[in-house]
């Protein structure tokens, strides 16, 4: 994005704030200092990440860069985040707004506000908490030690210990912390009203000094809040990871595209193949003594073969006979094939790339590896409607 004085440009001070925030976030992600944003004299350049950076006065969206531009890029990113992290923002966050009305951050905040409003209709989850109090009549059990020390000369006061149902639980404190954060961040009056109404309904829930360290218990009694809790932690992470940089307070939700594409693909394979899918599979190595550990992105245990998938967020060159596939990536796949394949269940190797705009999910190249019998396939994965993706993934079976 250009830096200058024009209406469509970033101001120099804004660009500096964004780059400081980006550098801090890059350190958290264990990336290079300019892996998120690189500051140049008259522009800032985004790296292979996507998401949103927010500092006072400006919100910067970073969208996928593989032949996807403008609103299509935003819709693609929303869809990928929705699938990879179960945020439910594709359907909920955009409903009722025009295509250019709100940016990515507002989409996510609006989705959270709507989801919380719907969940609050069923009431706040409660837990029993042990309380101590000095009462005129016995409630619960008598704290004998405290009674005969503190109230030895006060027979009119009873040291009581009792359990009381309360809304002030770790789960509710985490969600309330996210609500307070997002109420400060949103620029939409309707979203702000929803969040404030939610806080009114959560009266009595305490303020947590460190929400991400709360010891939350998820079980059947609060199952309606599980997704909301995960989303709250997801959003609070943007603050804890970028909290303050000098005098600037910032907010960042950033995802390396390689990681996002891998998580997105793994979730779709799980929908298609269920428990037969292992993501980031461990336990195999190049050598028999365990040296040089192997960790393929996805391993699918099919009845007659083992499908090994490695995802690559790169452009393919369809005019090249090798489709632009890196030789080092092929060598890596061969190592996976030897480690995971067997005579009974031979390996099928698949390098999976994002489809360009207008492309679908299909196999571009289908080769046999010389001397091994492995199938080596190069495929593309469409980044469109989830209703069709699972069918297309299943159709990749030979």
pLDDT tens profile 138-158: 887 888 888 887 777 787 888
Per-residue pLDDT for the chain (398 aa), expressed as one digit of tens each? Answer: 777 777 777 878 888 888 888 888 888 888 888 888 888 878 888 888 888 888 888 888 888 876 654 456 777 888 888 888 877 775 445 555 554 467 788 888 888 999 999 999 988 988 888 778 888 888 878 888 888 877 777 878 888 888 888 888 999 999 999 999 999 888 889 899 999 999 999 998 999 999 989 999 898 888 889 989 998 998 888 764 444 444 446 788 888 999 999 999 999 999 888 889 999 888 788 888 878 888 999 999 988 889 999 999 988 887 888 888 999 999 999 999 888 888 888 889 999 998 876 677 888 888 888 877 788 999 888 887 654 566 556 666 54
User: pTM for this one?
Assistant: 0.79
For 159, phi then psi, to 5°, come to -80, 105
- Distance CA(39)–CA(279), nearest Å, equals 36
What is the percent of the chain where pLDDT is above 90? Answer: 23
- Nearest one of 201, 61, 186 to 120, comparing CA atoms: 201
CB 380 within 8 A of CB 352: yes
């Amino acid at each position: 994005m250009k830096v200058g004085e024009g209406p469509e440009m970033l101001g120099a001070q804004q660009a500096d704030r964004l780059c400081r925030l980006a550098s801090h976030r890059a350190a958290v992600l264990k990336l290079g200092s300019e892996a998120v944003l690189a500051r140049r004299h008259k522009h800032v350049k985004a790296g292979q990440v996507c998401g949103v950076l927010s500092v006072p006065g400006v919100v910067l969206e970073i969208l996928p860069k593989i032949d996807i531009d403008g609103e299509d890029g935003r819709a693609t990113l929303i869809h990928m985040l929705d699938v990879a992290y179960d945020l439910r923002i594709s359907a909920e966050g955009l409903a009722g707004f025009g295509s250019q009305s709100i940016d990515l951050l507002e989409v996510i905040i609006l989705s959270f506000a709507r989801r919380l409003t719907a969940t609050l209709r069923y009431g706040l989850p409660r837990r029993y908490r042990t309380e101590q109090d000095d009462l005129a009549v016995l409630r619960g059990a008598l704290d004998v030690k405290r009674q005969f020390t503190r109230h030895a000369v006060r027979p009119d006061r009873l040291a009581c210990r009792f359990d009381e149902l309360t809304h002030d639980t770790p789960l509710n404190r985490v969600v309330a912390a996210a609500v307070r954060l997002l109420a400060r961040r949103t620029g939409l009056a309707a979203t702000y009203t929803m969040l404030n109404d939610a806080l009114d309904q959560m009266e009595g829930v305490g303020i947590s000094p460190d929400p991400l360290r709360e010891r939350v218990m998820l079980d059947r009694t609060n199952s309606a809040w599980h997704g909301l809790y995960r989303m709250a932690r997801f959003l609070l992470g943007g603050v804890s990871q970028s909290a303050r940089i000098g005098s600037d307070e910032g907010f960042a939700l950033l995802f390396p595209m390689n990681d996002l594409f891998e998580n997105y693909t793994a979730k779709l394979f799980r929908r298609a193949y269920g428990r037969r899918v292992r993501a980031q599979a461990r336990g195999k190595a190049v050598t028999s003594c365990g040296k040089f550990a192997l960790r393929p992105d996805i391993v699918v245990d099919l009845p007659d073969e083992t499908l090994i998938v490695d995802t690559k967020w790169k452009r393919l060159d369809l005019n090249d006979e090798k489709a632009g596939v890196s030789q080092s990536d092929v060598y890596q796949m061969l190592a996976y094939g030897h480690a995971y394949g067997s005579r009974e269940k031979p390996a099928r190797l698949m390098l999976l790339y994002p489809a360009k705009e207008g492309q679908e999910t299909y196999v571009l190249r289908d080769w046999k590896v010389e001397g091994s019998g492995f199938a080596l396939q190069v495929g593309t994965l469409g980044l469109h409607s989830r209703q069709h993706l699972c069918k297309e993934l299943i159709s990749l079976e030979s």
